[in-house]
């Protein structure tokens, strides 16, 4: 299994600013993903972070709001831009290997927008 770390673990940000979240995996992985978990809700996939190319976004999520980078096979960042209180959520990164089936999650970043 992969061990995944995220930074920061939590942050409080002002409306209109941006927050960049870092995700580090302890081994090279084929796929990395970013999810959002709104308060008291389940997880929703934001996008697939593609190494060396643009991320693939799910319906309802756009690059201007959630720019993603993945410079190598162990690291990715998610930026949440132009923050509003509705962006207050837990943001989680995950990783899956060549097998594809098993997917592991980081501890999450708890974002509060004031």
Partner 1 sequence: GQQLNQSPQSMFIQEGEDVSMNCTSSSIFNTWLWYKQDPGEGPVLLIALYKAGELTSNGRLTAQFGITRKDSFLNISASIPSDVGIYFCAGPMTTDSWGKLQFGAGTQVVVTP
Q: Residues in the site for partner 1, rule: CB under 8 A?
A: 1, 4, 30-31, 33, 41-45, 48, 58, 92, 94, 96, 100-108, 110
Phi, psi of 46 (to 5 degrees): -85, -55
Tell me how far, at minimum, the Cβ of 16 lies from partner 1, in Å.
27
Nearer to partner 1, 16 or 107 (CB): 107
| Angle subtended at Cα 68 by Cα 10 and Cα 24, rounded to the nearest 5 degrees | 55
Nearer to partner 1, 89 or 108 (CB): 108
Tell me how far, at minimum, the Cβ of 42 lies from partner 1, in Å.
5
Tell me how far, at minimum, the Cβ of 85 lies from partner 1, in Å.
21
3-state helix, strand and coil shares in percent for the chain, rounded to the nearest 5: 5, 50, 50
Based on its alpha-carbon atoms, the radius of gyration of the chain, rounded to whole angstroms, reads: 13
Tell me how far, at minimum, the Cβ of 101 lies from partner 1, in Å.
5
8 Å CB contact between 30 and 38 = no
CB contact set of 41 (below 8 Å; sequence gap of 6+): none
Nearer to partner 1, 1 or 114 (CB): 1
């Amino acid at each position: 299994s992969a061990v995944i770390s995220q930074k920061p673990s939590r942050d409080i940000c002002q409306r209109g600013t941006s927050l960049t979240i870092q995700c580090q995996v302890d081994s090279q992985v084929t796929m990395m993903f970013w999810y959002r978990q709104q308060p008291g809700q389940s997880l929703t996939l934001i996008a697939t972070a593609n190494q060396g190319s643009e991320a693939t976004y799910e319906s309802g999520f756009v690059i201007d709001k959630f720019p993603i980078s993945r410079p190598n096979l162990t690291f990715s960042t998610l930026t949440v831009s132009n923050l509003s209180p509705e962006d207050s959520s837990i943001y989680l990164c995950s990783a899956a290997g060549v097998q594809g089936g098993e997917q592991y999650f980081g501890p999450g970043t708890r974002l509060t927008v004031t």
